[in-house]
Structure 1
Amino acid sequence: MNLSQLHFLFRFFDNFQPLSDAAALAFSEICHVLELEKNKDLQPIGHTCRTIYFVDKGLARIYYYKDGVDITESFSFEGTLIARVESLFTGRPSQKAIQTLQPSRFIGINAAQLFKLYDEFHEVERLFRKIFEAAYVETVNRIEGIQFHTAEERYSALLADSPDLLKQIPLKYIASYLGITQVSLSRIRAKMG
């Protein structure tokens, strides 16, 4: 891929660790662009994750079904990565899917080729270690949010993080992400004005 097409992705990397020109060039060769319409599965349930995606434009979510109910695990906004890491690292099919919530453009990063780059460019390995560490901390914070905070507090935090983008997400997905019913979410929103 052309390096100029990866500008937004490399700006994201700079938050963790910039790459040298040689590493950036090698990295660009393992990337591809994928565009999807709204409400399409980027990766379906039962698929083994072999690609890490950067949301270059748009919005996506990871979801699964529990007792026939659609549950949203996470949202990925523009300028973030999305992958089903439990499948990526184990090589087993995932019980979760990735779906677009608006027309979206992704930069796909071939994971097998990425892991090979680790040996050639230790800065790439360090970069992704830092990215995965940050994602782990975010997951722990989310679990602790569910354990220690009310649904109203969790909604307020989500609203503070992404106020404009939340307007583009159907309430049923926000409610399932917060672990509450859509009726409860409506009450919280009414109370908050």
Structure 2
Amino acid sequence: MNNLITYFNKYNTLSEEANKAISEICKPVIIKKNQDLQSIGHTCRTIYFIKKGVARIYYYKDEIEITECFAFENAIIARVESLFTGKPSRKAIQMIEDSELIGINSPKLFELYDKFPEIERLFRKIFEAAYVDTVNRVESIQFHSAEERYNALLKESPNVLQRVPLKYIASYLGITQVSLSRIRGIR
């Protein structure tokens, strides 16, 4: 829980009572490499904090697997569109490495919002930051070349090449593995 509390403190420091209330709705989750944490068609009712491992969100378009994003240690991951609408997601979360996570029960978390406005404020800030990341991702696809997106990914996550298969990186960048090899050869 210490890693999770440290993560929370980046956004909003919680009282001891609020931290205790959150810890009571958390559970450890262990997932093996290449297993889905949440499968396509699953309704998201858990927010995950990654203690150890790498996750990716993916979906299928015209029977082609597309990687939407990666998440590394000390990050939150969830299918937010499913979490807030209560509808099944068309996307999945897969763990790329053997992973240790903390699962936060979202219905119970949302119940805590009324008792602890500081918890609601914390998660509002976390979800705002995630929204900004999503907007930045969309804008990078719209305005930047594949090479620029590749360089930005390396800057943001320097060890991505050691931890994530190239096919997922190529998919994330919206290019083929051949194009990715060409870009890597230029560097």
Name the TM-score class by shorter chain: over 0.9
Moved over 3 A (4+): none
Per the TM alignment, residue 52 of structure 1 is displaced from its structure 2 partner at its CA by: 0.4
User: Corresponding residue for 1:150?
Assistant: 145
Q: How does 1:80-119 map to 2 (within 5 A)?
A: 80-119=75-114
User: Which string of whole-angstrom CA distances, capped at 9 and with x for unpartnered residues, describes residues 99-140 of structure 1?
Assistant: 010000110000000000000000000000000000000000
Q: Which residue of the other structure, out of 24, 30, 48, is the alignment partner of 2:25? A: 30
Residues of 2 paired with 1:23 and 1:168: CA distance? Answer: 35
**AA matched with 2:33:** K
User: Corresponding residue for 1:66?
Assistant: 61
Residues of 2 paired with 1:23 and 1:83: CA distance? Answer: 21
Residues of 2 paired with 1:78 and 1:170: CA distance? Answer: 17
Residues of 2 paired with 1:180 and 1:105: CA distance? Answer: 30
User: Which string of whole-angstrom CA distances, capped at 9 and with x for unpartnered residues, describes residues 6-43 of structure 1?
Assistant: 00011111110111000000110000001011000101
Residues of 2 paired with 1:136 and 1:119: CA distance? Answer: 23
Per the TM alignment, residue 165 of structure 1 is displaced from its structure 2 partner at its CA by: 3.3
Residues of 1 paired with 2:163 and 2:130: CA distance? Answer: 23
Per the TM alignment, residue 186 of structure 1 is displaced from its structure 2 partner at its CA by: 0.6
Identity %, equivalent residues: 65
Aligned alpha-carbon RMSD (Å): 0.6
1:54 maps to 2:49: yes
1:10 maps to 2:35: no
1:121 maps to 2:116: yes
Residues of 2 paired with 1:174 and 1:164: CA distance? Answer: 12
Gaps of 5+ in 1: 1-5
TM-score normalised per structure 2 = 0.99
**AA matched with 1:108:** G
- The alignment partner of 1:145 has SS state of helix
**AA matched with 1:151:** A
User: Corresponding residue for 1:3?
Assistant: none
**AA matched with 1:33:** P
Q: Which residue of the other structure, out of 147, 154, 161, is the alignment partner of 1:159? A: 154
Q: Which residue of the other structure, out of 156, 180, 184, is the alignment partner of 1:185? A: 180
TM-score normalised per structure 1 = 0.96
Per the TM alignment, residue 164 of structure 1 is displaced from its structure 2 partner at its CA by: 1.4
Per the TM alignment, residue 166 of structure 1 is displaced from its structure 2 partner at its CA by: 3.0
Residues of 2 paired with 1:116 and 1:52: CA distance? Answer: 14
